[in-house]
Structures are given as structure tokens and as C-alpha cells.
Amino acid sequence: MASRADNLASNLNLANFSKATELKKRIWFTIGALVVFRFLSFVPLPGVNPLILQDLYAQTRGGVLDLFNTFSGGSLERMSLIALGIMPYITASIVVQLAGSLHPTLIALKKEGESGRKKLNQYTRYGTVGLTIIQGWFVASGLEAYGAQSGLQAVVDPGYMFRVGAVISLVGGTMFLLWLGEQITSRGIGNGVSLIIMAGIIAQFPTFIANLFEGGRSGSISAFVIVGLVFMIVGLILFIAFMERAQRRLLIQYPKRATQRGMMQADRSHLPLKINTAGVIPPIFASSLLLLPLTITQFAGNTVSPDSTTGAVIVALNQYLRHGQPIYMLLYAAGIIFFTFFYTAVVFNPEETSENLKRNGGFIPGIRPGKNTADYLDYVLTRITVIGALYLTLVCVIPEYMIAQTGVPLFLGGTSLLIVVNVTVDTITQIQSHLLAHQYGDLIKKAKLKGRMR
């Protein structure tokens, strides 16, 4: 078995890649779509002064806007047409997915198969439009109000016309990104939405490298710190890649069935349970909840006197909830652990899995079908989720601690690293699948030609 796997892996080389015409077309289409995404991130909203906007954004740095700005590839900082990025769609899909596990009507839709999935996707799109309109209106209003209070005017001509135009532009930009992601998924390679998010994160990597080495040249960052950061990033990437592919495989036994030769043979398969079933959702939720009050206090701090009671409370919150502070990291770790267990319970239903196994005649050796199987699945899933929660906490807290100790603005935080590694692994897996399908296609064609010659 091992030799067959080695031979198969050796055949998936560059020679086979050069012959896979369909795969090359898909890769070029994906690259072209991502280039369009990057061009759009530099097209500003109509009626916005980008120079003054940079000063305003620098004053609010460190809040939830940094998280959205990272996922949008710097589009929010430049207030481009795609400033909101794909985040409204992610939020809407998470809400629909959570509701699909709790609301009876949506649960029934999930059981309808392909037709139900299409309806849920349609609900997600409606939710994306609604969230983009709400967020776009607050962004436009915030630009007007915040600029006026700071003595700077980022909006050239404030008023309802600007707000309506900004909302329409932002909705169009977000929906275009959603359409572009769907085109990448169907005509390109990999998951389109995930690739767009990863491209936005990777786009800031050259700036980070330049700032890091500039700090080393000027002496503000020691060479030891730079080397330590490089080793930390490489180590975290390898650790994430290992943990994301780690799984607990449960043996599933099926009853003996008659084969063509009249022999009775029992079928066996495995039920894979990932160590990290929740994916990147827990860090996103935890960081958003923690950074949201920080962003609100930053905006409010410009309109409230620091000598007042309210101003003192705002200053205290900004101090204790900053990146790297012990209270922030403690709450961040607790939020990750909580959302890991919560989201795992939402996406994996032991009772439903047990019923599906029982319906198909499968069972876990030594465990009775039905409720006992559901209890066993829940027991195993709880144990591996503890490992998954600790893994996510470690990956996300270590970069925060390094930023606090070194003062280096490490944009590749735990959430960003998780997204980049997950999407990269998934894309490589899909490329290998296309190469494997192409190889088998060539073998079938050769077999047909030999049959005709005979």
C-alpha cells in the first residue's frame, strides 16, 4: 500500500502538470480574478478625501477596524469600493448556519438536499445585502461625524446624497466580490471566498517585511527579535498545517454482504473527526467581540472630555483592552475556548450522525447503535475538542504576546495564519485531485486505444 502511494505521489510531478490543460486554465482564471480584486481595493469611494482619511484611520488603529482591514487587503484603510470586503457575507453565512441548526424551518430545509441548500444560500445573499446596507450607512455616517469632531473633513460634500451613494457603492462592491468568489469556485481552483480573504491578507505581507527590515536597519528592532519572529511564524505555520489535518478516525463496521463470487464479506470504513472542527470561526468571533468595545470607545473618546467620569471610564477601557494586555489576552483565550465548543456543537450533531449510521446498517464495534452510539460520539468529540480549543488558543495568543513584548506590528496574527494555512492546504489538495483525475483520464484513453487496436 505504501509503495502504491509513493508511486502515485511521484507521478503527480511537473510533467503531468504541464499536460493538464484544464487545470492550467483554472489556475490562470483564479490568478486573473484575484488581480481584479486587488485593483478594486485601490478604487476609492466617490466623495472621500483619501489623504485626510489616512490620518483618521491612524487615530482609530487597534480596534475592530484593523481586523476588517486585514481581511479586505487594506481596502477599509483606503475606503475603496470593496472597503467592507467579504465580511458581511461571512457574518450572514455564520448566522444562517447557526440558525439552520436551531430553527425548525431551516433544519427541515437542510434535510431537503440540494434544493434546500440553494434556498439557504439565497437567504445568505439576502442577509449579505441587508448587513452591507446597515454597515455601509454607519460607515458613511461615521466618516462625516468623526471627521467633523476631529477638525478634519474626510468627506468632501457630506449629506444624504453622499451616504446613499456610499451605501450603493459598498453594496455593489461586496456583491461583486461575492460573485467573483463564486466564479473562482466554479471556473477556477479552490474556494473563491476563502481565496479572496487570503489574497487580502497576503497583500500586506510585503509591507510587513519592508517595515521589519527597516526597523532592523534603523536599530529600532534588534536582529535577535527579527530572527525570533521568523522562526515563530515558520513554526506556527508548520504546527497549524499538522493540527488542521489531524483527525480521530472511528472504525465503522457494516453487516456482511454477498459478493459476486458468493462470498460473505463485511465492509469497513472510518468516520473522521477533525481535531479542530470549528475551523477559524472561534478566533474571529472572540476578537470581534473584544475589539468592538475598543473601537466604540475610540470613536467616543473624541467627543467626550477625558476629565469627566465617562471619559475616565473610556480611558480605562482603552488601557485594559489593548493588544497584549493581560486582561485582553485572558478574555481572548476564554472567548476562543467558548466559541470552539459552541460552534463544534452546532456543526456536528452526534444524534443525527448516529441515526444515519443506524439507517445504513453501520455501527461502531463494541457500541450499540442508537443512543449509545450518539453518547459515544459526543464523548469522543468533547475530548478532541479540548485539544482543538487549546491548539487555537495557543496559536492565537502567542502572536499577541510577541507583539506586546517586542512592539513589532505583526499583522500575521493567529487568525490570519489560520486562514492562510487552511486555504493553502485546501487549494493544494484540489490541485492534486485535478492532477490525479487527469492521470486516470489518460490511463483510460490509453486502455481504449489498446482495445481498439486489438
pLDDT in tens, 218-244: 777 777 878 888 888 888 888 888 888
Task: Give the residue numbers spanning the domain of 287.
Answer: 207-428
% of the chain residues with pLDDT over 70? 73
Same structural domain, 317 and 363 = yes
Same structural domain, 199 and 233 = no
Q: What is the pLDDT of residues 180-193, one digit of tens each?
A: 999 998 888 888 88
% of the chain residues with pLDDT over 90? 11
> In the prediction, which pLDDT does 345 show?
85
pLDDT of 176 higher than 90: yes
> In the prediction, which pLDDT does 283 show?
84
pLDDT classification of 5: cutoffs 50, 70, 90: very low
* Mean pLDDT of all residues in 274-296: 77
> In the prediction, which pLDDT does 257 show?
63
Q: Residue 447: inside a domain, yes or no? A: no
Same structural domain, 179 and 283 = no
pLDDT classification of 347: cutoffs 50, 70, 90: confident
> In the prediction, which pLDDT does 116 show?
79
Q: Residue 449: inside a domain, yes or no? A: no
Closest-CA residue to 409 (of 61, 138, 127): 61
CATH code for the domain of 395: 1.10.3370.10
> In the prediction, which pLDDT does 172 show?
92
Q: Residue 321: inside a domain, yes or no? A: yes
Same structural domain, 179 and 216 = no
> In the prediction, which pLDDT does 59 show?
61
Number of domains in the chain: 2
Q: Which of 206-210, 290-294, 395-399 has the highest mean pLDDT?
A: 395-399
Q: Residue 277: inside a domain, yes or no? A: yes
- Kindly report which listed range (40-44, 318-322, 410-414) carries the lowest average pLDDT score: 410-414
Q: Residue 339: inside a domain, yes or no? A: yes
pLDDT classification of 7: cutoffs 50, 70, 90: very low
> In the prediction, which pLDDT does 413 show?
66
> In the prediction, which pLDDT does 441 show?
62
User: CB of 98 within 8 A of CB of 346?
Assistant: yes
Calculate the average pLDDT of the chain. Answer: 77
> In the prediction, which pLDDT does 385 show?
93
> In the prediction, which pLDDT does 313 show?
65
- Kindly report which listed range (161-175, 180-194, 281-295, 374-388) carries the lowest average pLDDT score: 281-295
Same structural domain, 52 and 140 = yes
Same structural domain, 320 and 181 = no
Q: What is the pLDDT of residues 86-125, one digit of tens each?
A: 888 888 887 887 777 777 777 777 777 778 788 888 888 9
Q: Residue 89: inside a domain, yes or no? A: yes
End of a domain among 154, 171, 203? 203
Same structural domain, 251 and 344 = yes
Same structural domain, 59 and 195 = yes
Same structural domain, 295 and 334 = yes
Q: Residue 451: inside a domain, yes or no? A: no
pLDDT of 206 higher than 50: yes
> In the prediction, which pLDDT does 11 show?
47
> In the prediction, which pLDDT does 118 show?
84
pLDDT of 128 higher than 80: yes
Instruction: Return the bridge partners of 341, or none.
Output: none
Q: What is the pLDDT of residues 24-75, one digit of tens each?
A: 888 899 999 999 998 888 888 888 877 777 766 666 555 556 666 666 666 7
Same structural domain, 264 and 228 = yes
Same structural domain, 322 and 403 = yes
End of a domain among 203, 233, 257? 203
> In the prediction, which pLDDT does 314 show?
62
> In the prediction, which pLDDT does 204 show?
78
DSSP collapsed to 3 states, 273-336: EECCCCCCHHHHHHHHHHHHHHHHHHHHHCCCCCCCHHHHHHHHHHHHCCCCCHHHHHHHHHHH
- Helices 326-347 and 87-100, packing angle to 10 deg: 50
Q: Residue 402: inside a domain, yes or no? A: yes
Same structural domain, 123 and 239 = no
